[in-house]
Amino acid sequence: MGAAAHVGRVGGLAVALGIGVAIVSGAGDAAAAPSDSSSSSTAPHAGSARTTPAARTTTVSAAASKLAQPVALRPAALIRVGATGVVTKAPSPVDDSPATPADNPVTLALAAASRREPVPPTQRTLVAPATQVTAAVESATPTAVVAIPQTPPLAFLQHIPILGPVLFTPIVAFIHQIPVFGDLLHPLFGYPVQPGSSPNAAQPRDVKVVSFDGTEIYVHFMPATGLQNGQQAPTILDGPGLGMPGQTSIDGSFLDGVLTNALGMPSILDLRNAGYNVVTWDPRGEYSSGGTLQIDSPDYEAKDVSAIISWLATQPEVELDGDPANLDPKIGMVGASYGGGIQLVAAATDHRIDAIVPTIAWNSLTTALYKSDSFKSGWGTILAAVLVATLARTNPKIIPATIYGDLTGMLTQADQNLLAASGPGLPDNLIDQITAPTLLIEGTVDTLFTLQEANANAQALIDNGVDTKVLWFCGGHGVCTNDLFNTGGTLIEQRTIEWLNRYVKGDQSVSTGPQFEWVDQRGQHLSSTSYDLTPSDPVVATSTKTRTLTMVPFVGAGGLFGVLPIGSSRAINALNLTTPAVTTTTYVVGAPHLTFTYSGTGSGDHLYAQLVDNSTGQVLGNQVTPISVTLNGTEQTASVDLEMVAQTLKPGQKVTVQLFSSSASYRAVGDLGSLTVTSMELSLPTVDPATVTVGTV
């Protein structure tokens, strides 16, 4: 890609930064995820490699990946009902040539075909639907890998006598301190030359790894701090968020501290200083990589990761697991949002990966973007804008689905099936193929990938006997009202390094802390030795008062300023039910349950529910839950688990549940009518305080 093309991308930088990074300081990049729902119904919804000139290539032979390790069986009492065996997934057909980029890329992945109802941590023994099966996944390890070295056209400037080190190197170093902007210009200038560095120091470099279908993936290799020629270190793959290029800030950036607290993940410099080589890349369909973006597909993006791993296994600085012929490096993965999702599908399809740390990722695209048959149009619009602004080349089949969802609030069955294979959850159920130890990190204020997304992943991994830890922090795709430096990000950075040291470096002396840790709305650190929380008496509120709600789109909508889905505010046009004041410190953790009896008429088919802290007026975790309703004039009963929350109530505090007809996250343009509620009951799940540890562990 020439200089003009890279400079041209800066025109979209304002949107990319404003949505992909500024949202990150209380939000995040982009991707897609899971959650549950409900309503009056109680039943769940169900290539050939391209030839390259020999002078420009390095060809390596790939060997077989690790065999999938056997999964530990659970006690008989917990084995899922209806487990009928193992179903082999037929590989998707692959064209003989790389896919042609779409001329007018516009959108993001919108849905998956089926739902998985996540189970709150207080009820982990609930069985799954009887139709659930486990898919056996074919290894994604390629049979051959080609890597094309990349030389930035302006890299020579740093080597001009006198002027190079005095003028150009400081400029290149400064550019790399600016997140995203420095990554966009990196292909022109390359890495800053390290003044006074040892002549034997291992050097960073860029290549284009040719993936299984001929697509060239732009890859950045940054050796561990202080690594010398002849020395080796384990390696970490660090995936970018949707719409973001692979990071190249080898010496850190101006915003590393802020992004650590907002995203809950270590910087490249943190990982390098911890003794790891760091590898980043532009995902297919974005920036300097070729191909068409498929949204972390196991058939495309996951195979790209496998090609990168095979190339890494041939690099002299990369420490291996055993026989070099196996092309099996000591390797782990980190990354947030889109960079979190790729870890789950890659670990399911390539068992050479030793450990993963998916941050603010998802389980099912359907439950993330189409919960209770209500399209999450607020986030859908934002994600589409990111891809358009960054000139991403997306699968053109998803454009009609995006437009239809934005206009109607619905998705057709064909739209839902479009990306059924993207993500680790059902229908393919790739999560059951993961054997790598997994640290799941999710944001309590994340409105794109809610806590139930990480919970669904955690349930499956723990039940399968995979080493699993769960961390919740006040960040992600949403606005955290805490002090930006008191969100839990620093703790998560520490736990991430510990996790990698134990499972990638293999240092069994490293402690990774309790299995479950979370940060509440005040920035207080809490933990439990087990993800199976011990419940206490729920906080219950009931009402038999008859009340009527006039359903009008956009009027009195919940959401940040009633417009942005990254936060939420008290709805004006709503039916309210308030809990009694608690008398002791109460830890509300899990999915609240709401039941109400109603009747009504009109064209509306959804209500929305949220919880409000009466003492602050803030919505718990920014979370809004869509609820399907039937307005046919007859009496109906809706019973639904709301989005999971983590809230600490002090003595005297109360919580109000609101039912309303319009939300900034779910723009139900056709919700018109009148609905009368004759009874309501809210139950807030609580944790036995004797099992909760307060403070740093």
Give the pLDDT band (50/70/90) at residue 428.
confident
Percent of the chain with pLDDT over 70: 74
Contact 519, 443 (CB under 8 A): no
More confident residue, 39 or 514: 514
Q: Which of 57-71, 593-607, 656-670 has the lowest mean pLDDT?
A: 57-71
Q: Which of 193-207, 226-240, 246-260, 424-438 has the lowest mean pLDDT?
A: 246-260
Give the three-class secondary structure for 218. strand
Give the pLDDT band (50/70/90) at residue 288.
very high
Residue 478 has, within 13 A of its CA and on its CB side, a CA count of 31
∠ CA 367-372-374 to the nearest 5 degrees? 90
pTM, whole model, 2 decimals? 0.81
Average pLDDT value for the chain: 80
Average confidence (pLDDT) over 137-150: 70
Give the three-class secondary structure for 88. strand
Residue 107: CB atoms within 10 A of its CB come to 27
Three-state helix/strand/coil letters over 543-586: ECCCEEEEECCCCCCECECCCECCCCCCCCCEEEEECCCCCCCE
Closest CA to 134 of 413, 434, 351: 434
Give pLDDT, residue 434: 98
Closest CA to 149 of 54, 258, 12: 54
Query: Does residue 511 register a pLDDT over 80?
Result: yes
Query: Does residue 17 register a pLDDT over 60?
Result: no
More confident residue, 98 or 176: 176
| CA distances from residue 476 to 27, 262, 353 in whole angstroms, order as listed | 5, 6, 25
Integer Cα distance of 150 and 220 in angstroms: 10
Integer Cα distance of 327 and 329 in angstroms: 6
Neighbouring residues of 217: CB distance < 8 A, sequence distance ≥ 6: 208, 209, 210, 211, 281, 282, 283, 284, 289, 290, 291, 304, 307, 308
Query: In a 10 Å sphere around its CB, with 0-12 CB exposed, 13-18 middle and 19+ buried, how is residue 294 labelled?
Result: buried
Give the pLDDT band (50/70/90) at residue 263.
low
Integer Cα distance of 135 and 91 in angstroms: 11
More confident residue, 260 or 37: 260
Average confidence (pLDDT) over 594-612: 94
Residue 473: CB atoms within 10 A of its CB come to 31
Specify the DSSP class assigned to residue 663. Answer: B
Give pLDDT, residue 144: 67
Q: CA 133, 293, 118, 454: dihedral to nearest 10 degrees? A: 120
> Which neighbouring-strand residues pair with 143?
none
Closest CA to 682 of 650, 658, 662, 666: 658
Closest CA to 309 of 292, 289, 332, 336: 332
* Domains with residue ranges and CATH for the chain: 3-35+144-480+488-513 (3.40.50.1820), 535-694 (2.60.120.260)
Query: Does residue 482 register a pLDDT over 90?
Result: no
Give the three-class secondary structure for 169. helix
Give pLDDT, residue 93: 36
Integer Cα distance of 652 and 622 in angstroms: 22
Give the three-class secondary structure for 496. helix
- Per residue in 569-586, pLDDT (tens digit) is 888 889 999 999 999 999
Integer Cα distance of 326 and 216 in angstroms: 23
Give the three-class secondary structure for 481. coil
Residue 203 has, within 13 A of its CA and on its CB side, a CA count of 10
Neighbouring residues of 658: CB distance < 8 A, sequence distance ≥ 6: 558, 570, 571, 574, 575, 576, 609, 610, 611, 612
Give the pLDDT band (50/70/90) at residue 335.
very high
Crossing angle, helix 489-503 and helix 256-263, to 10 degrees?
A: 80
Specify the DSSP class assigned to residue 530. Answer: S
Percent of the chain with pLDDT over 90: 58
Give the pLDDT band (50/70/90) at residue 35.
very low
Query: Does residue 238 register a pLDDT over 50?
Result: yes
Closest CA to 501 of 141, 221, 255, 224: 224
Query: Does residue 44 register a pLDDT over 70?
Result: no
Closest CA to 124 of 519, 458, 412, 423: 458
More confident residue, 137 or 329: 329
- Residue 645, phi then psi, degrees to nearest 5: -135, 165
Contact 449, 437 (CB under 8 A): no
Integer Cα distance of 463 and 80 in angstroms: 10
